[in-house]
Every structure is written in C-alpha cells, then in structure tokens.
Homo-oligomer: A and B are copies of this chain.
Amino acid sequence: MHGSAFQPLTVETLPERLVRVTAVAEHVGGTGSSWRVREVGDGNLNLVFIVEGDRGAVVVKQALPYVRLVGDSWPLPLKRSFFEYHALTRQEKRAPGQVPAIYHFDEQQALIVMEYLSPHIILRRALIQGRQLPRIAEDLGLFMARTLFRGSDLHMETRDRKADLALFAENVELCDITENLVFTDPYFSAPMNRHTPELGPVVAELRADRDLKVEAQKLKHLFAAKAETLVHGDLHTGSVMVTESDTRIIDPEFAFYGPMAFDVGMLLSNYWMAFFSQRGHEAEGSREDMRAYLVRVIEETWAIFREEFARLWRTERRGMLYHRSLYEDQGDALGAEQALNHVIHDIWTDMLGFAGIEIHRRILGLAHNADFESIEDTKLRASCEAAALRFGRHIAVNRKHISSLAELDRLAKSLDQGL
C-alpha cells in the first residue's frame, strides 16, 4: 500500500488491502477472505473498522480528507492521522498501558491499525446508562498527570520538547476547530451553532455577559499561546473506553503543545455535564446515587492528578524548569514545594476556566453531548442544560476566587435543584 495515492477503505476492500501487512495478519489470523469486517465509526471525522479473524481482532482507523459529519464541503487534512499516531506513541511511553496498542501506521493512507478493545464501551455511554465505573478516577488522574508532566520542560530535554512543539504546530486545522467551536462560536450567533429552543433567554443572557466573553477570550489566548506540554486536546468522556477493570484513552488527533490545564478542565467538565444530565434520565428511577458517584469521581480525579503530579515533581523533575540546582541542591526542598504549589494552583485556576467554556460549547455550539441530547423532553433537557450553563459561567468567570471542589459540589447541587 505504501507509495500509492490515498484511497478510503471499505468493508469490501479492506481485507485485500491489509492482508499483506504482517502486523495486521498476525493479530487477526487466517486469510483475508475469512475476515469479518464491520464499519463502526460513530464519530464525526473518520472511518473506523473492526476486523475479526481466527486469531483475534484489530481496529482500523482511517482519516478522510473532510469532516465525515458534514461532507466534503468541510475539508480536513489527512495528516491528522500522523498527529494521532505520534501522540499515541508518546502517550504510551509516558503512561504505559493506558492507550490502545498500535500495530501499524500508514501515513499516506492516513491509517492506524490498533488493538481492538473488548468488551470496552465508551465512558460517556456508560455514564448515561447510570453505570458506576470504579477505576476511572484513578486511571484518568494518573494518565493526565503522567502525560502532562512528562511531555513538558519539567521532565523532557528542552531540545526534544521544542522539536515536538514544531512537529505538532502543523496540526493547525484541528486546533482551529477547537479555537472556533469551543472558544468563539458559542458566544455569538455563529452559523453552525444550535441549542435547545427553550434555552433562548439563558443564551441571550450569556451572550450579553461581558465578563464571560472577556474570560472566554483570555482562555483562548492561553490555549493558543501556552505551549507547555503535549495535550490530548479532546479528552472528554467520548474519548475514553472502559470496563470495570480497565480504562483506555483514545482519539488524540487534536494533540498539540498547549496548557496542561486544558485536558484536565475538559475531562472534569464532561463529568459535570454528566452530573447535570442525570435529572433527564430519571424516568426509570432516581439517579441520586449516580450524582453522588460523579461528585466523588470529580474529587478523586483531581486528587489523584494532584498527588501523581506532585510525586513526579519530587522524583522526575529533571527538565530545565524549577531545576533542583536552585532548591534541593541548596538544601531548600521547601522552595521546590512552594513552586509546586504555585504550578498546581495555576493548573487549578485555568482548569476551571477551560471547564466552564467546554460546558458552554457543548450546549450552545455545533458539537453536542449525548448526555443531554439523549433527553427527549426538550423542556426537561433545557432545564438540565440551563443549570450546566450557569455553572459553567460561574466557574469560568470566578476561577481565580474558587478554592475547592467542595464549594463547587455544593453549587452544582443547588443549581441542579433550581437555585
């Protein structure tokens, strides 16, 4: 396949095109003609195939030269597959075992062959169903701490970090999606926006909210300019696959050098949205337990993230930032702890901002969350969404003056009950 022009795979052509790729044949087993191939891409951008054979199964993900959801009127470079591949290999090194194993990458065909995760399901789906996954707080807290710390100048050789910064700086189009759809469009009546009709008055209120609009743009400024570490770039509950005992992070095609707080804020905001959506899913019984679970997950995720980040700070801080020569080597370990407090505090503050903005764009922008979308009664849905919107506005605008998740737990509950 190397060297030939890009051609999208189909269920029919996949076996003959991949059977000679050793890494694929070995994992699937048998001859191509015995493979069972399904196309399961439910995302907005790519083709995703599950290929099963005598020995096992693999996932084949192929980019298309446009946004699948919209069609070829919205072109999108195949090179996003290259960024996804390079992000996956770096994440595997920094947080071993937390992303799917990669078997094969074909840059020209924009195609990645990877581990088939089974019986994993998408975390968002599980949370909508009211399932309480026991491992997500720990696994995702560790994943974020390890990838964000180890991809930064706290840990890497600066030369390598800058080479990676330059490599991922070319991921312009996917960053552009975030820059527009997350940080800008929700705050005015942009053409691709949509929202539940009953939200009209709240939306008008938010779009007239000067402090919010200034804060959203300051966060965009931070997103665009703070090239601190290799972020996943799209770390919501739809990018996580889970079982009771395993958690895997997928789809890092939005990866680029950005602020540490971005991944953390996006993940926690998706838990908060899950929280505010539960009221829309109570037809078959109370979701009180589920809300309590989500509050615990948010608290534990942050706590685990903070602890692991601090552990790495103390044991793996060998990059050029906050170097030991200035602290520990001068007998001033407390100086390093002081700096750690400041760094974590900045992540906390910015994380709240990114979380608030992410909530807004998922309710006012183009790409909505199934958590709310699956609530059919639009009046009920709008009531859940309005609480989430107000919560998002509060944490984005007041992020420098909020000190604890305990304050926010209380606020979320009050808003959910119609404060």
Contacts and interface: CB of A to CB of B under 8 A. Distances in A.
B176 A217 contact: no
A325 interface: yes
B184 A158 contact: no
A330 interface: yes
Contact of A166 (B159, B169, B210, B334): B169
Interface stretch (A26-34, A128-136, A220-228): A220-228
Interface in A159-186: 159, 162-163, 165-167, 169-170, 172, 175-176, 179-180, 184
Contact of A321 (B175, B176, B217, B327): B217
A274 to B, nearest CB: 29
B334 A210 contact: yes
A413 to B, nearest CB: 32
Interface in A275-323: 320-323
A322 B217 contact: yes
A329 B188 contact: yes
Given A179-B320, A220-B321, A325-B188, A163 B169 contact: yes
A338 B224 CA distance: 20
Contacts of A166: 165-167, 169-170
Name which of A165, A180, A210 has the most chain B CB atoms within 10 A of its CB.
Answer: A210
Nearest to A321: B221
B158 A179 contact: yes
A218 B339 contact: yes
Contacts of A159: 172
6 contacts: A166-B167, A166-B170, A184-B325, A213-B332, A216-B326, A218-B343
